[in-house]
């Protein structure tokens, strides 16, 4: 009799979890300034859209590759072709959920050409939970595209 009760409880909680997950599909979470997805460009087209400009105020849509595992104070967005863009949040004014990797995001703010120092790269690797060995392998700065977001929408795909 006890086994049946245990199995019923497990089935109940499993079913409840699946229902809660299904109810969250399609919902959004917002952070920072209130924005909408209107006129957002795909992240894969951002570098071309910037052309020779050092910075560009823009709205971008893409996939979150990685989120800071300490606080959610930065995220990496897939730009395609093996490239990623580091996104920070204006004035450190908001954070995103640490479990947002893999989700679709729309963000508004300023894209800019950036060079990330070895010290910063090592700090980000530490935030991401990389091993000491992986961190020590970082020996050169990186030229890349950065983004300072004023508002973010994360979709619960």
| Rounded-to-integer distance, Cα 144 and Cα 146, Å | 6
How would CATH label the architecture of 28-155?
A: Beta Barrel (2.40)
CA trace torsion 12, 14, 15, 21 (10° rounding):
140
Sign of CA dihedral 21, 27, 33, 35: positive
| Rounded-to-integer distance, Cα 49 and Cα 65, Å | 21
pLDDT above 90 (res 13) = no
pLDDT above 60 (res 5) = no
pLDDT in tens, 41-81: 999 999 999 998 999 999 999 999 999 999 999 999 999 99
pLDDT above 50 (res 34) = yes
């Amino acid at each position: 009799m006890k086994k049946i009760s245990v199995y019923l409880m497990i089935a109940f909680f499993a079913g409840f979890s699946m229902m809660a997950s299904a109810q969250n599909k399609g919902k959004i979470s917002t952070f920072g300034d209130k924005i909408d997805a209107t006129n957002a460009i795909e992240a894969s087209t951002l570098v071309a859209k910037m052309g020779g400009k050092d910075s560009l105020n823009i709205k971008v849509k893409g996939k979150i590759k990685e989120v800071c595992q300490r606080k959610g104070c930065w995220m990496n967005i897939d730009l395609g072709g093996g490239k990623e863009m580091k996104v920070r949040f204006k004035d450190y004014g908001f954070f995103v959920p640490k479990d947002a990797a893999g989700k679709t995001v729309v963000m508004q703010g300023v894209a800019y050409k950036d060079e990330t120092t070895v010290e910063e790269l090592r700090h980000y690797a530490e935030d991401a939970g990389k091993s000491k060995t992986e961190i020590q392998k970082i020996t050169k700065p990186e030229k890349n595209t950065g983004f300072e977001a004023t508002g973010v929408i994360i979709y619960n795909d």
